[in-house]
Every structure is written in structure tokens, then in C-alpha cells.
Amino acid sequence: MKGTRIRDAIFIASIVFAVTILAVPTLLGALGHMPPVDVRTIAIKYLNNTYNPFNQSIWTSSPEAVAAIVWDYRGLDTLFETAVFYSAIIAALALYREILGKKDTLEGRGLSIIVQRSTAISMVGILVVGFATILHGQLTPGGGFQGGAIAAVTSVVAIVVFSRLFIDRSRLSYKHLLVIRNTALVGIALTAIIPLIFQLFSNQTTFIFQNQGKAMSGFSYPHTIADAPMGGSIWFYNLFEGLAVVSAFSLAMIIVFYSEELSRKTIEGEESGF
Amino acid sequence: MLELADLVFVMLGISALLSIPATILAIISRDLLRAVIFSALQSTMYTLMFFLLMAPDIVLVYVAVSIGFMSLLIILLIKKVGRYERY
């Protein structure tokens, strides 16, 4: 009892100390103006070049500077980031390799009919918001990963509210999700190397991960469709990344929500090595 | 006089300060389901802060992951290990 009281006192004292040490310098203006009042030179450079129809030699045709940096200026970074994310998902799937794609033994019925109906209505809304974020990634904040994470909440809510049996019986099966994820990843790779394929059939020099035409190469993705800025390859990257994230998160959640009887099989015999 | 930029700063401070009791309650709460709710409240405050710091990209992914995925995963875990914490 005495031990817990001392521990609580230390805990409260350390919280107060941490808050004070952060709050006092902030109040005294150690971080400068909050929010900042000036624009840094690198930001000015990006803002001038990202969507500048009057100087199309170095533009990205995407009004959203963050999306342009993520998928055009720093496109290769994002490609490897995606590779890291999918390595993690594949590792999680490999842990459950013996039961992947199997039907769950538990016959759950889910929550009550009122919850199920109201969830079915709001699930449509979540999906619409998610896909709007994906498809407008070149115009508004957000993009493939953000929209994919929003849309993937639908599958998690569906597992909790409608039970796992519902997912097993629906078309959202393990195999279909795997096909969607692999198609989307191939799509990302293809969008990156389509400029090189284009080079085979023409005499122009092109670059990997090229979006808009440069001074020495004429290849461009379509930059406007019906007066709407499409951001060239950024739209395609966002679409494929979004689809891949939705399917990968859904896969991970589906294996996590296996019943204990089935998921226990994966750790059987670990004393004799994995 | 308060200007618009100062209002942003004040809201930032309020949400930062509100997140602290939520964090403390999430740590000391014996009822783990309640701890998840406090942690989601703290995440909501952080979301507001990210928005006020002009990072709407982060807001979109933070809302989905920290309030949706994390809470559901931890509730699943609580279902397996029991709701109340024992010393």
C-alpha cells in the first residue's frame, strides 16, 4: 500500500514536471510564432513550381503540394516506404500461414439487428469518404494511404458488428483480397515504369517515375481531364496505393479476428522450433 | 486584443492540456475498457492539434488508425485477457 502511494506521488510529480518543462518555454515563445507567420524558402520553391501552368517544364500538375512531394519529387522514397509497409503485412500473414484462407470454426451471429442496420448505412458513408480521399488526393489533403486507412475501417467494423462468419460467406474472402492487393502493387510498379516502356516505342528519352514532360523528354501523364487537374501519375499512384492499403489492412484484421480455437493452431509445436 | 492566430494558439493549448488528464486516466484506470475510451479521447485531442498545426494529411490517417484501428484491436485483446486489471 505504502509502495503504491510513493509510486503514485512519483508519477504525478513527473507528469507535472514534464508539462511544466514543455509549457513554460512554449508560453515564453521558444518555438517562435505559433502558428509561424513566415514561409520558408524551400516551401516557396515548392509552391511556385508544383502547380504552375505558365512554366510547365518543371511542374507536377497537382495543386496539392504534399501529394506532389510524396509521389513525384520524393516518389522513390514513398515506393520504398510502401515496400516496408507490405513487408510488415506479409510478415504478419506469414505468422498465420497454416490457417490463412480457412473458414472460422466459430459460428458468430454478430450484434443485434438495430446495430447491424445502422452500421450498414454508416458503412456506405465511411467507404464514400475513404474513396473520395483517395480519388481527390491530387486536389485535397490526403491521398492513397489516408483514404485507404479510412476505407479499411469499414471491414473492421463489419467483422465486429456482423461477425466473422459474415465475412467468410461474403465475397470479401482471403483470396479476393489477395488478388486486389497484388493487382494494386503491380499497378504501382507499372505506373513507375510505363515511361520506360514508352521509350521502347519512341525515340524520346524518358525517366523512371516520370510524371510530366521535362525539357529533354516529352513523355507526360494526362494532366487535366475535363478541366479538372489530375496530377498526372499522382492520381494513379493514389488509386493503387489506396486499393492496396484497403486490402492489406482488411487482410491483417481478418486474420487477427480468427477465433482462438483456430489461431491457437499456429503456435502449436513451437517448443521444437518454428 | 485577440487575433485569429492567437485563437488558434489558445485552442492548441486547451486541447494539449485536455489531453493530459485523458492520458493520466488511461494509465491509472483499472477498467481496461475505460482506459481505451480515455486513450481515444486523448487521440481526438491530438487530432485537433494536428489540424490546428495545419497538417490535414496527418489528421486523416491519425483519426482512422488511432481511434478506429487501435481501439478495436485493444478491445479485441481485452476480450481475451479480461476487463479488469489485477495487481
Question: Domain coordinates of chain B in residue numbers?
Answer: 4-81
Measured in residues, chain A has a length of: 274
Within a domain: A6: no
Q: How many domains does chain A have?
A: 1
Cα separation, A136 vs A155, in Å, equals 22
Within a domain: A28: no
Cα separation, B7 vs A240, in Å, equals 39
Cα separation, A41 vs A92, in Å, equals 42
Task: Tell whether B11 lies on the interface with A, counting CB pairs under 8 A.
Answer: no
> Which residue numbers in chain B have pLDDT < 50?
none
Interface confidence, given as ipTM, is 0.80
Single pTM value for the model: 0.84
Task: Average the pLDDT over A181-202 and give the result.
Answer: 90
Cα separation, A239 vs A187, in Å, equals 9
**Does residue A118 carry a pLDDT above 90?**
yes
Domain membership of residue A173 as a residue range? 63-272
Question: Looking at the partner chain, which of B12, B57, B65 has a beta carbon nearest the beta carbon of A141?
Answer: B57
Task: Tell whether A153 lies on the interface with B, counting CB pairs under 8 A.
Answer: yes
Indicate yes or no: CB of A149 within 8 angstroms of CB of B8: no
Residue of B nearest to A242 (CA): B61
Task: Say if residues A162 and A116 touch (Cβ distance below 8 Å).
Answer: yes
Q: What is the pLDDT of residue A103?
A: 80
Banded pLDDT at A273 (limits 50, 70, 90): low
Q: Name, in order, each residue with C-beta under 8 angstroms of A267's C-beta and a sequence gap of 6 or more.
A: none
Task: From chain B, pick out residues whose CB is under 8 angstroms from the CB of A249.
Answer: 69
Question: Looking at the partner chain, which of B53, B69, B80 has a beta carbon nearest the beta carbon of A156?
Answer: B69
Q: Which residue has the cell 492513397?
A: A144
Within a domain: A3: no
Measured in residues, chain B has a length of: 87
Q: Which residue has the cell 525517366?
A: A207
pLDDT digits (tens, 9 = 90+) for A128-149: 999 999 998 888 888 888 999 9
Task: Say if residues A85 and B65 touch (Cβ distance below 8 Å).
Answer: no
Within a domain: A16: no
Task: Tell whether A15 lies on the interface with B, counting CB pairs under 8 A.
Answer: yes
Q: Which residue has the cell 490535414?
A: B56
Share of chain A above pLDDT 90, in %: 27
Within a domain: A82: yes
Q: What is the pLDDT of residue B41?
A: 94
Determine the residue among B70, B72, B79 to mutate to test chain A binding: the one whose Cβ has the most chain A Cβ atoms within 10 Å: B72
Task: Say if residues B38 and B21 touch (Cβ distance below 8 Å).
Answer: no
Within a domain: A196: yes
